[in-house]
Structure 1
Amino acid sequence: MSKRTRTGTLAALVVAGLAAGAALTAAPAGAAPKAPAPKFLSATELPPHPSSAWTAAPVADGVPEEMQYRFGDALLAYDSRYRTFRTELDTGAQQLNVVVGDNAKAKALATRLDKEVKRCVTRMDADPEIEADYKSYGSLPVEEGARVHGFATRASWGAMDIHLVSVGRDGGTVTVVQWGQMGDFTDAPVKAFKKTTTTAVNKLY
């Protein structure tokens, strides 16, 4: 066999091998493409802090500890990721994205999470060391909808905290945004938080 023939044969084998590899890794005909991961808020999309800039941590898998306490086992069966935000002055926020996939199940989850916020406030208020008050800030007309909640806590040792929580949905994905700092209802940036919630739901996909 001549050198030219050997070279041509080797080239043909390489091409054939590449084609076979492509066939093995290609998606089956008719298979649905993998859905993109839902996006998260950036630090600049949080309610502006009067004297300190927000910083954003990397996105992490799972459910943050604060939301585990607030929502109990409602989130255990789902694929969840979250991002934590902080300022230098004890103001914090988090966003949790829960991919349910099924629209009906996602709607049911969002409804349950809205109820769990109120239940959490009731549980805290039952503690003799804590007084907790709840306020509903209504719904937002974004994608499949969102609801905004607020609650303030006062501890027997003097600590006062204000929290805003929203639950929104886009198709089969639910997003939860929570914000908190020291203070009471008069310190809650409700208008800015509603804007943040609208951005969070719109930004998912």
Structure 2
Amino acid sequence: MSKLRTAFAACATAALGLAALATAPAQAAAQPAFLAASQMPRSATPWTATQVFGGVPENGGALCAPYKIPAQNSRYREFRTELDTNGVQITTVARTEAEAVKLVDTLRTSLAGCGPVLEKQNPGLKAVSAFHGKLAVEEGAWVYSLDTADPQVGNTDIHLFAVGRDGKTVTFVRWGQMGDLKDAPLAGFKTTATTAVNKLW
């Protein structure tokens, strides 16, 4: 009799387990991975990173391409150091690969033409955009820079950007600090951009 009770108990436990599985919500779909703080370009002080948030940053996140990246199916992480060096990674999963290709093209066009647009919007500002080549990773990553100087304020800023794609997934990485292009860790940023695309999936 004890063996029979044991068998019934085992069956009941199994049935309860199956019922729980049937009623539990489906597991969340896998999400693209993000850069860690340690994978940003080398800095005089350590990088810190926020958690990964849903959507895009409030300002659109993509300097030179604000609001080009849709908030739906997008997530982002921000980075900073004690010396006001900062960055962001935004990743979005498009519905189709064709849509992902279109988004990459849109971002690249915005980044390539950013300097003249900013000069037109901000009289007196000097802004120069430059293309720094395509990286051989997955479907590719493209690197740009924006060098700005405001004579009225006396500020100079340099930003580096990368747009990369892996299938339907597009990632945008920005790095920025005060200074000029000669002060920017371009080689290190290219390594960061390659890592960002490689980590997506």
Instruction: Name the TM-score, length of structure 1 as normaliser.
Output: 0.84
**Equivalent pair of 1:78/1:100 in contact (CA under 8 Å):** no
Partner of 1:173: 169
Partner of 1:200: 196
Partner of 1:153: 148
Separation in 1 of the partners of 2:149 and 2:87? 19
State the secondary structure of the residue aligned to 2:130: strand
Separation in 2 of the partners of 1:182 and 1:84? 17
**Equivalent pair of 2:89/2:171 in contact (CA under 8 Å):** yes
Partner of 1:163: 159
Partner of 1:76: 70
**Equivalent pair of 1:168/1:201 in contact (CA under 8 Å):** yes
Separation in 2 of the partners of 1:191 and 1:68? 21
Separation in 1 of the partners of 2:42 and 2:91? 22
Structure with the larger helix share = 1
Partner of 1:30: none
What residue identity is the alignment partner of 1:144?
E
2:119 matches 1:125: yes
Partner of 1:22: 21
2:133 matches 1:138: yes
Instruction: Name the TM-score, length of structure 2 as normaliser.
Output: 0.85
Separation in 1 of the partners of 2:66 and 2:60? 10
Which one has the largest radius of gyration?
A: 1
Identity in percent = 42
Shift of 1:35: 4.4
**Equivalent pair of 1:150/1:164 in contact (CA under 8 Å):** yes
Segment drifting more, 115-124 vs 137-146? 115-124
Unmatched runs of 5 consecutive residues or more in structure 2? none
Partner of 1:60: 53
Alignment root-mean-square deviation, CA: 2.8
Separation in 2 of the partners of 1:168 and 1:182? 25
Shift of 1:163: 0.5
State the secondary structure of the residue aligned to 1:75: coil
Unmatched runs of 5 consecutive residues or more in structure 1? 28-32
**Aligned residues between the structures:** 197
State the secondary structure of the residue aligned to 2:138: coil
What residue identity is the alignment partner of 1:76?
P
What residue identity is the alignment partner of 2:114?
C
Q: Deviations over 1:139-191 (max 9, x none)?
A: 01100001000011111211100000000001110001100000111111111
Separation in 2 of the partners of 1:21 and 1:192? 49
**Equivalent pair of 2:78/2:89 in contact (CA under 8 Å):** yes
What residue identity is the alignment partner of 1:139?
K
Partner of 2:30: 36
2:183 matches 1:187: yes
